[in-house]
């Protein structure tokens, strides 16, 4: 479990670096960046696939989809669910909808904890339960401040929960399953890069974008792969709670980019950081107990 926690936190750090990178990809807009992100991520994901010798697993999943049309349809649904999340992550900050999407990320771990209990009969440690309670208070405060939840909030909170639950049920929560999701998104990604105005000439005219897009693809591929690995190694509830690390890091990135937290949001973020701290302490305590039992 400790390895899963480390992998999850590392993925969150890499996702935060993507958030920091986004403003430097102008003049591309959010939807164009989504399309290019898929296009430049897939080659690096493919390289990881070969490096980790997961190609046989891809062939097995595709063979199963060929023999079982229902399974194939669910693979398409899985890819669509991921595509919506990748799109809204890039679209929201450039269209004045960053706050509702951020609220969705704050709400997501709580929804995943509930899903873990109801769908997979998972249990939380006392530390994790306390972290859930503290985070719930923080999310409740943010909900009260925002005056309700928009469709963007629900898309993130419910969409990602359905996505990870579906992958675990289908047993595609592997790098091979993730590669298939990304490959199935290629047509949509190409369409986004070609829609008016066509972004290919735009990218061709800005040589620095090629370097930035390559970095985007490499970091995105590694981050998504680590995130998918963590989703498999960890119980769904703990995996959901660790999702608080990413929005907490995004706050730090926002500070680096010159943004600041509104006074009415201080309590929300303070409670979120406390919840993250509780998770870290609980993880260290769990690791110490495991090692103590092994020594005895």
What one-character-per-residue DSSP string does the chain give? -HHHHHHHHHHHHHHHHHHHHGGGGTTS-HHHHHHHHHHHHHHHHHHHHHHTT-HHHHHHHHHHHHH-HHHHHHHHHHHHHHHHHHHHHHHGGGTT-HHHHHHHHHHHHHHHHHHHHHHH-----HHHHHHHHHHHHHHHHHHHHHTS--HHHHHHHHHHHHHHHHHHHHT--SHHHHHHHHHHTHHHHHHHHHSSSPHHHHHHT-HHHHHHHHHHHHHHHHHHHHHHHHHHHS-HHHHHHHTTHHHHHHHHHHHHTT----GGGHHHHHHHHHHHHHHHHHHHHHHHHHHHHHH-
**Given this model, what pLDDT does residue 210 score?**
86
- Find out whether 77 and 254 touch, Cβ atoms under 8 Å: no
Domain count, the chain: 1
Residues 193-223 have pLDDT tens digits of 998 788 999 888 888 888 899 888 888 888 8
**85 pLDDT above the threshold of 90:** yes
Range of the structural domain that residue 45 is part of: 2-295
**Given this model, what pLDDT does residue 102 score?**
76
**Looking at residues 138-162, what average pLDDT do you find?**
84
CB-based burial label for 260 (10 Å; 0-12, 13-18, 19+)? exposed
pTM confidence score? 0.80
User: How many CB atoms are closer than 10 A to CB 199?
Assistant: 21
Lowest mean pLDDT of 4-18, 32-46, 246-260, 267-281, name the range. 246-260
**Given this model, what pLDDT does residue 195 score?**
85
**Given this model, what pLDDT does residue 177 score?**
93
**56 pLDDT above the threshold of 90:** yes
**141 pLDDT above the threshold of 90:** no
**Given this model, what pLDDT does residue 193 score?**
93
């Amino acid at each position: 479990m400790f390895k899963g926690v480390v992998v999850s936190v590392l993925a969150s750090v890499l996702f935060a670096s993507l958030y920091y990178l986004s403003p430097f990809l102008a003049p591309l807009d959010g939807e164009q960046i989504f399309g290019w992100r898929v296009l430049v991520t897939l080659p690096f994901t493919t390289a990881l696939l070969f490096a980790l010798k997961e190609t046989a697993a891809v062939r097995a999943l595709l063979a199963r989809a060929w023999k079982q049309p229902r399974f194939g349809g669910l693979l398409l649904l899985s890819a669509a669910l991921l595509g919506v999340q990748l799109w809204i992550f890039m679209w929201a900050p450039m269209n004045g909808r960053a706050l509702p999407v951020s609220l969705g990320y704050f709400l997501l771990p709580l929804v995943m904890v509930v899903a873990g209990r109801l769908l997979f009969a998972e249990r939380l440690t006392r530390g994790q339960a306390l972290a859930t309670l503290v985070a719930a208070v923080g999310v409740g405060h943010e909900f009260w401040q925002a005056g309700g939840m928009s469709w963007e909030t629900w898309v993130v909170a419910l969409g990602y929960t359905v996505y990870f639950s579906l992958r675990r049920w289908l047993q595609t929560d592997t790098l091979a399953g993730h590669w298939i999701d990304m490959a199935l998104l290629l047509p949509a990604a190409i369409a986004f890069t070609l829609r008016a105005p066509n972004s290919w000439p735009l990218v061709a005219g800005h040589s620095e974008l090629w370097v930035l897009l390559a970095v985007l693809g490499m970091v995105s591929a590694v981050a998504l792969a680590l995130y998918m690995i963590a989703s498999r190694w960890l119980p769904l509830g703990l995996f959901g709670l660790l999702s608080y690390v990413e929005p907490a890091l995004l706050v730090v990135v926002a500070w680096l980019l010159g943004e600041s937290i509104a006074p009415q949001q201080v309590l929300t973020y303070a409670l979120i950081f406390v919840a993250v701290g509780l998770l870290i302490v609980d993880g260290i305590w769990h690791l110490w107990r495991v090692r103590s039992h092994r020594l005895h």
